[in-house]
Amino acid sequence: MLVLRLVRENPAWGYRRVHGELATLGIKIAASTVWEMLKAEGLYPAPDRSATTWADSLRSQADAILACDCIETVTLTGQRQYILAVIEHATRRVLTLGTTAHPTAHWVVQAARNLAMDLEDTGVTVSYLIRDRDAKFPALFDQILGDAGIQVVFSGIRIAADELRHGALGADLPP
């Protein structure tokens, strides 16, 4: 069948695109018929049938990915401490780069230098470090890692669902 051949040769095409291509060839068929044919063959009619998810991408590149964040905690004595931690995605091993009561740009930059040296000493090859956009990470942090061959990737901005629904962006949205 031509419909199935088009879909298999062009996995990013959805049923509407296939319908359009068939119409261009002069073949008259309803879009809903194309949809039903794909469904009957066990293929998703939407173009995401071949898309790679973020989770799939992380799993396939796990050996080359680190993630980093600054964690705030309070000790038993009530003192606030900041922990700079890195997780290796492949092993899920957490590395503590340091703790301090007052995270400064100098402290974070030194932690980046230590991380780069530790990775070099252990022979670990890392291509990416995922981090948030926290102001605690100065530009020099990214530069040091870049010089070590590690590309810094920023994580997405998270907005709480309640903020989205209840007007933080200027309009109430349905739940």
The SS3 call for residue 114 is helix
What pLDDT band is residue 172 in, cutting at 50, 70 and 90?
very low
Cα 135 from chain centre: 20
Kindly tell me if the per-residue pLDDT of 167 is higher than 60.
no
What pLDDT band is residue 141 in, cutting at 50, 70 and 90?
very high
What pLDDT band is residue 73 in, cutting at 50, 70 and 90?
very high
Q: Which domains does the chain have, with CATH numbers?
A: 2-50 (no CATH), 55-154 (3.30.420.10)
Residue with tokens 């009561």: 101
Q: How far apart are the first and last CA of the chain?
A: 43
pLDDT at 86: 96
Contacts of 122 (CB under 8 A, 6+ apart): none
Kindly tell me if the per-residue pLDDT of 104 is higher than 70.
yes
Q: Which residues of 11-29 are buried (b: 16+ CB within 10 A; e: fewer)?
A: eebbbebbbebbeeeeeee
State pTM to two decimals.
0.59
The Cα–Cα gap between 115 and 117 comes to: 5
Q: What average pLDDT does the segment 102-111 reach?
A: 95
pLDDT at 85: 96
pLDDT at 75: 93
Kindly tell me if the per-residue pLDDT of 53 is higher than 80.
no
The Cα–Cα gap between 48 and 44 comes to: 8
Residue with tokens 């998270």: 158
- Greater confidence, 49 or 43? 43
Q: What is the mean pLDDT of the chain?
A: 84
Under 8 Å between Cβ of 165 and 172: yes
Percentage of the chain exceeding pLDDT 90: 46
